[in-house]
């Protein structure tokens, strides 16, 4: 069966929008998502303005929007709190930024325990590739994947690796090999474009175009790897792409504190590029 793309945007990424005038209310944020053709909203439980689940849930239902929960998890109590939130907003997917740091055995045991608890709750867990988490180093992450249960998958956000590890342009063959191994375990992709020195860049600046093109090619490869694993399923899960252009200090500002670009416009641009990358990935699969 055909695998489809599911688009969501982070509510954290809608904080401080619009850049001029009064910030959108939660209702206005969700209206913008529905009007722009997004399938759902991602809720970062660590965001400054995280909505209460009891408030968010009916607003999502009214607009036929789904939910994904993003959580920083340092222990079982954090995970349990995230699962309670997920239950209230009817989220069936959770992206975990694991903050257990220790030897490989300790980390692997924690991930397996969290994965099991999520499965028992009917929630599909993914580990995000994120700085200052157990996946913060690309090379260690690929090593851990060899020890983790094959059902443990990744939410791919390459902005953290590009900036955190100061990727060269073009990336080396060794880096690309590691990325291919990450794509082989991917379940979703996140939309933010980085350079080796900045984790989030405004779009459309000529000096950034090579990085924008590189990310688009990576998204095609990640989508192709996900579709390859799902195409034989009787009822395949949609492939999730989440745009996540953060407010300050992620967003670059001038000396007056004004952001250098319109994040909502950039969000819609990334939405369109993700759709194009997904179509290209499917075309490549058919051609091969």
Would you kindly state where each structural domain of the chain is located, as residue ranges? Answer: 5-287
Task: Using the predicted structure, report yes or no on whether residue 68 has a pLDDT greater than 60.
Answer: yes
Answer left, alpha or beta for residue 114, where phi above 0 means left and psi between -120 and 50 means alpha: alpha
Q: Name residues whose C-beta falls within 8 Å of residue 136's C-beta, 6 or more positions apart in sequence.
A: 130, 160, 164
Q: What is the pLDDT of residue 138?
A: 97
Distance between CA atoms of 29 and 8, rounded to whole angstroms? 12
Distance between CA atoms of 277 and 281, rounded to whole angstroms? 6
Report the predicted TM-score, pTM, of the whole model to 2 decimal places.
0.95
Task: Using the predicted structure, report yes or no on whether residue 193 has a pLDDT greater than 90.
Answer: yes
Distance between CA atoms of 227 and 203, rounded to whole angstroms? 27
Q: What is the pLDDT of residue 198?
A: 97
Q: What percent of the chain has pLDDT over 90?
A: 92
Reported as a pLDDT band with limits 50, 70 and 90, residue 287 is low
Task: Using the predicted structure, report yes or no on whether residue 286 has a pLDDT greater than 60.
Answer: no
At 264, list the tokens: 């909502």
Q: Give the C-alpha distances (Å, rounded to integers) separating 83 from 68, 92, 99, 125, 154.
A: 11, 10, 17, 10, 18
pLDDT, tens digit (0-9, with 9 covering 90-100), for 194-224: 999 999 999 999 999 999 999 999 999 999 9
Kindly tell me the burial class for residue 272, based on how many C-beta atoms sit within 10 Å of its own C-beta (0-12, 13-18, 19 or more).
exposed
Distance between CA atoms of 180 and 138, rounded to whole angstroms? 11
DSSP H helical segments within the chain, as ranges? 26-35, 53-62, 76-88, 104-120, 138-145, 159-164, 173-183, 209-230, 263-287
Q: What is the pLDDT of residue 19?
A: 84
Residue with tokens 């607003």: 59
CATH 3.40.50.300 fits 5-287, yes or no: no
């Amino acid at each position: 069966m055909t695998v489809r793309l599911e688009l969501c945007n982070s509510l954290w990424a809608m904080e401080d929008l619009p850049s001029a005038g009064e910030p959108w209310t939660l209702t206005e944020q969700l209206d913008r998502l529905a009007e722009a053709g997004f399938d759902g909203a991602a809720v970062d439980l660590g965001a400054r303005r995280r909505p209460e689940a009891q408030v968010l849930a009916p607003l999502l239902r009214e607009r036929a929007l789904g939910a994904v929960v993003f959580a920083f998890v340092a222990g079982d109590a954090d995970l349990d709190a995230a699962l309670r939130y997920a239950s209230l907003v009817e989220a069936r997917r959770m992206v975990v930024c694991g903050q257990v740091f220790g030897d490989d055995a300790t980390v692997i045991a924690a991930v397996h325990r969290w994965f099991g608890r999520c499965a028992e709750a009917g929630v599909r867990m993914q580990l995000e590739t994120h700085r200052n988490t157990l996946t913060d180093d690309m090379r260690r992450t690929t090593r851990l994947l060899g020890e983790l249960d094959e059902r443990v998958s990744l939410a791919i956000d390459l902005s953290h690796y590009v900036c955190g590890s100061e990727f060269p342009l073009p990336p080396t063959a060794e880096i690309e090999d590691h990325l291919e191994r990450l794509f082989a375990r991917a379940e979703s992709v996140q939309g933010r474009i980085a350079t080796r020195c900045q984790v989030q860049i405004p779009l459309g600046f000529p000096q950034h175009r090579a990085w924008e093109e590189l990310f688009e090619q990576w998204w095609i490869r990640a989508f192709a790897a996900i579709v390859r694993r799902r195409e034989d399923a009787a009822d395949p899960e949609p492939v999730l792409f989440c745009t996540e252009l953060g407010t300050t200090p992620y967003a670059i500002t001038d000396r007056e504190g004004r952001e250098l670009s319109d994040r909502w416009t950039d969000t819609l641009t990334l939405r369109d590029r993700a759709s194009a990358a997904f179509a290209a990935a499917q075309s490549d699969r058919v051609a091969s």
